[in-house]
Amino acid sequence: MSLNEQQKAFLTKHLKVAFPDDATADDVTSAQSGTPKLLDIWRTAKERTDTGIAGLQTALKRFQSPVLDRIAEAGLNGISEGNSVGMMRAIMNYDAASPDTKANLMKQIDAYRAFLQGSTLVTLAESNPFGITVDIKAPLETALNDIAAAVAQRGT
């Protein structure tokens, strides 16, 4: 499925993503057959993480507390210090013409790893006292490792 011009313009405007002429949102992948699609790797990990976070958000909202509601509304994007958007941007730009995109993607992978290891909010979400399993670090770290390996396999 290809992106239409309006979709490309939207993504370019809001995420600062550059698209080669034949790129699609689902086709950020190697020219080599069998190399994992980077967006698919990231989306799968994010979906797994988002499921746990959604459960925690629901649990927090049940208390009908303005403070807990504000925390619930933040979600992963709200606590990721810009790393989630930065990661998506780096993945989507990876196949753009610029040779700097590999270095940029690897830099963003390192930044996201550092965020995951140092974030008190991620640790609190994963060890919450509400009985909700929230798995953030494991799926995202696995995805970051898989993306880094795919980039290394490509060599460019």
Predicted TM-score of the model (pTM): 0.74
Long-range contacts of range 72-80, CB-CB < 8 Å, 24 or more positions apart? Answer: 75/50, 76/46, 76/49, 76/50, 76/136, 79/119, 79/121, 79/122, 79/125, 80/115, 80/119
Site of tokens 């013409």: 97
40-81 per-position pLDDT tens digit: 999 999 999 999 999 999 999 999 988 888 888 888 778 888
14-39 per-position pLDDT tens digit: 656 665 554 444 444 444 434 468 98
Please indicate whether residue 118 or residue 9 has the higher confidence score (pLDDT).
118
Q: What confidence score (pLDDT) does residue 115 get?
A: 96
> What tokens appear for 119 in the block?
């974030």
Q: What confidence score (pLDDT) does residue 68 get?
A: 87
Q: What confidence score (pLDDT) does residue 95 get?
A: 64
147-156 per-position pLDDT tens digit: 999 888 876 5
78-134 per-position pLDDT tens digit: 888 889 889 998 998 886 656 688 899 999 999 999 999 999 999 999 999 999 999
